[in-house]
Amino acid sequence: MTIHFNKHKFKETRKKLRNNPTQTERILWDELKGKKLGGFKFRRQYGIDQFVIDFYCPRIKLAVELDGSVHQNSDIKNYDRERQKYIETFGVTFLRFKNSDVLKRKEWVLEQILVTARRLTTTPKSPPCKGGDLKEGS
């Protein structure tokens, strides 16, 4: 295990989230699992420090987050913004979608993820701002 990715002490939290997905997480996971989307391998409920990302492609450091109605609350919006800013210091790119987008415009969501994933494979990443061992966990 590595210093920042998929910390063992949060393993049970990630497992509970994987075993109790929301409807939109199930829908999107059906499209991402098994390298179905452009050959990119995504993981679900992936940990970076104490935070858990809905979907993550370690190869290109792409995080995909699904936001339900609770994310419209200003306190939660601020929390999400700070959480995202912190995770981005590891060189992670974020895509955020509303649950309603997955339900009503799934093909558009998938296209946005695929376009971003392809762009990230051709664009060199700058090194992360944090020091230490930043290898991806398995």
Round to whole Å and give the CA distance between 107 and 128. 32
Mean predicted confidence (pLDDT) in 8-28: 74
Given pLDDT bands bounded at 50, 70 and 90, which one contains residue 133? Answer: very low
Which tokens in the block code for residue 75?
Answer: 């306190």
Fold of 8-122: Endonuclease; Chain A (3.40.960)
| pLDDT tens digits, 105-127 | 999 999 999 999 999 998 765 55
Round to whole Å and give the CA distance between 94 and 67. 13
